[in-house]
Amino acid sequence: MKTTTPHWIAIGLLVSVLAAGAFKVIVLGNTEKADDGRTAVILEPAERQAVLGEMRLLLETTQTVVAALANNDLAAVEAAARPIGSAAIATVDFKLRAKLPLEFKKLGFGIHYAFDEIANMAKEGQPTKAIQKKLAETMNNCIACHASFQLPAATK
């Protein structure tokens, strides 16, 4: 009689290794503990610039939305918020996404989806105060992300 136990052990080990790798990629990303207690997300220089550029675009869009709300210009609110909504997520390179920890992605994706909501609220003609409140809530993700993560420049 033949025994197949060694095969099941090998399969179990392979599954464990794959699961550990998937956990690292999906949950942890490419990170290390920073000196200030935050999580340092380790990226190539071009990847770092891409993330920082997206953050600047989010900040610029936020300012545009604030100005449009101050002028009660809901069309301008929608025009500013729509492009930075969830459609912008598709432009992020998959190799870069794999390096970002899950919590970082949750916060970032949450911001993009919130801009969809802001654009929809403006399109529906909801009160500027309600849109302003949604924007204020959305900025809590920005604060949480900057409090939790840093993007250190590559050291030589």
Residue 19 lies inside a defined structural domain of this protein? no
Residue 12 lies inside a defined structural domain of this protein? no
* pLDDT the model gives residue 29: 81
Residue 24 lies inside a defined structural domain of this protein? no
CATH number assigned to the domain comprising residue 92: 1.20.120.10
Residue 65 lies inside a defined structural domain of this protein? yes
Task: Return per-residue pLDDT of the chain as tens, 156 residues.
Answer: 556 666 666 666 665 555 555 454 444 589 999 999 999 999 999 999 999 999 999 999 999 999 999 999 999 999 999 999 999 988 888 899 899 999 999 999 999 999 999 999 999 999 999 999 999 999 999 999 999 999 999 775
* pLDDT the model gives residue 76: 98
The sign of the CA dihedral 122, 127, 130, 136 is positive
H or E element, residue 43: none
Strand partners, 39: 33, 149
Residue 11 lies inside a defined structural domain of this protein? no
Strand partners, 41: 31
Closest CA to 78 of 130, 109, 115, 127: 115
State the residue range of the domain holding 127. Answer: 30-150
Residue 1 lies inside a defined structural domain of this protein? no
- Number of CB atoms found within 10 A of residue 62's CB: 20
Residue 25 lies inside a defined structural domain of this protein? no
**What is the 3 state secondary structure string of 52-114?**
HHHHHHHHHHHHHHHHHHHCCCHHHHHHHHHHHCHHHHHHCCHHHHHHCCHHHHHHHHHHHHH
* pLDDT the model gives residue 25: 47
Number of domains in the chain: 1
* pLDDT the model gives residue 10: 62
Distance separating alpha carbons of residues 3 and 16, to the nearest angstrom: 22
Residue 14 lies inside a defined structural domain of this protein? no
Side-chain-side CA neighbours of residue 50 (13 Å): 16
